[in-house]
Amino acid sequence: MAYIDVIDEYKRYNMGDTVIAANDGITFGVEKGEVAVILGPSGAGKSTVLNILGGMDSCDEGQVIIDGIDIANFDAKKLTTYRRNDVGFVFQFYNLVPNLTAKENVELASQIVSDALNADEVLNSVGLGNRMNNFPAQLSGGEQQRVTIARALAKQPKLLLCDEPTGALDYETGKQILKILEDTARKTGTTVIIITHNSQIAPMADRVIRINDAKVRSVEINENPTPVS
Ligand code: ADP
Ligand code: ADP
């Protein structure tokens, strides 16, 4: 068994008379501390997988085992606790609170978990020690994304789930963000899962899970992932 095991997971949406299978028997595993990339075109079912892994949605069938616990059978209350305590989220468009500074955004983590990391230290670790008192609008896209990562890491999550984290950034800035995600996995043992349609991100990953048309088409393990440079 792996640290994360998604086993024969199904998610369907009813659209009037038709049923859309967003996930049609998805199976894959991810080991602790890995960087895993879930790669596939738009509409493949990636976000559905991420939402289920993050406890934002539940599946219709299958098992979703995180660190030995099957969250597929969790009720809404248990899912909320899981989502708040165990999962950090990084989105394409940052999702920072605009009227709070970088530091205050990261400090929000301490309202969610009792053992949140010190905001100054986490912001330092993502290279933003000198911009802590800036508001999001005063920061570049890449800097805002670093604040988002810091806020997620302050919770010391088991899983860091990233939805197109470089999608709104230019190539060089995107690389800096990927470098931080890579460092996070390597140095803290946090399991990082990135969903993307951008195959250029695959070489850095320990594991590449290709999804297309609601199914896993291949899983590739990189024994020697290419460090982000
Ligand atoms: P991806 O993230 O790879 O773009 P999604 O997981 O968002 O793919 O979507 C997979 C499929 O499920 C698509 O056909 C999409 O239209 C459908 N879908 C996703 N969410 C919903 C929803 N809430 N209601 C109906 N259909 C949905
Ligand atoms: P385009 O001009 O089509 O946007 P780019 O080559 O500029 O293509 O980059 C595409 C995406 O790849 C960007 O969002 C960038 O963030 C991302 N990217 C960043 N770093 C890497 C990397 N090390 N390997 C692959 N892709 C990366």
Say how many Å lie between the CA of residue 212 and the centre of ligand 2: 21
Residue nearest to atom 18 of ligand 1 (CA): 22
pLDDT in tens, the chain (229 residues): 899 999 999 999 999 999 999 999 999 999 999 999 999 999 999 999 999 999 999 999 999 999 999 999 999 999 999 999 999 999 998 889 999 999 999 999 999 999 999 999 999 999 999 999 999 999 999 999 999 999 999 999 999 999 999 999 999 999 999 999 999 999 999 999 999 999 999 999 999 999 999 999 999 999 999 999 9
Per-residue pLDDT at 94: 83
Task: For residue 207, give the H/E element and its range.
Answer: strand 207-212
Q: Taking CA 2 as the corner, what is the angle to CA 5 and CA 155, rounded to the nearest 5 degrees?
A: 80
Ligand 1 centre to CA of 91 (Å) is 17
3 state SS of 149: helix
Pairwise CA distance, residues 26 & 129, whole Å: 41
CA of residue 90 to ligand 2 center, whole Å: 17
Mutate to test the pocket of ligand 2, among 93, 171, 199, 204 (most ligand atoms within 8 A of CB): 171
pLDDT of residue 19: 95
Residue 139 token pair: 């920061």
User: Taking the CB of residue 6, how many other CB atoms lie within 10 A of it?
Assistant: 24
Find out whether 191 and 199 touch, Cβ atoms under 8 Å: no
Ligand 1 is surrounded, with C-beta below 6 A, by 13, 15, 20, 22, 40, 42-48
Residue 225 DSSP symbol: -
> Considering only CA atoms, which of 62, 60, 139, 128 is closest in space to residue 94?
139
Q: What is the DSSP string of 23-46?
A: EEEEEEEE-TT-EEEEE--TTSSH
**CA pseudo-torsion sign 140, 138, 123, 168:** negative
Going from the Cα of 63 to the center of ligand 1, the distance in angstroms, rounded, reads 20
The complex's ipTM works out to 0.74
Taking CA atoms only, the protein residue closest to ligand 2 atom 16 is 174
Nearest CA to ligand 1 atom 27: 13
SS (H, E, C) 3-21: CEEEEEEEEEEEECCEEEE
Report pLDDT for 183.
96
Q: For strand 4-15 and strand 18-30, is the pairing parallel, antiparallel, or unpaired?
A: antiparallel
- Provide residues with CB under 6 Å of ligand 2: 166, 169, 171, 174-175, 178, 198, 200-201, 204, 228
> Which residue lies with its CA nearest to atom 26 of ligand 1?
13
* pTM (two decimals): 0.89
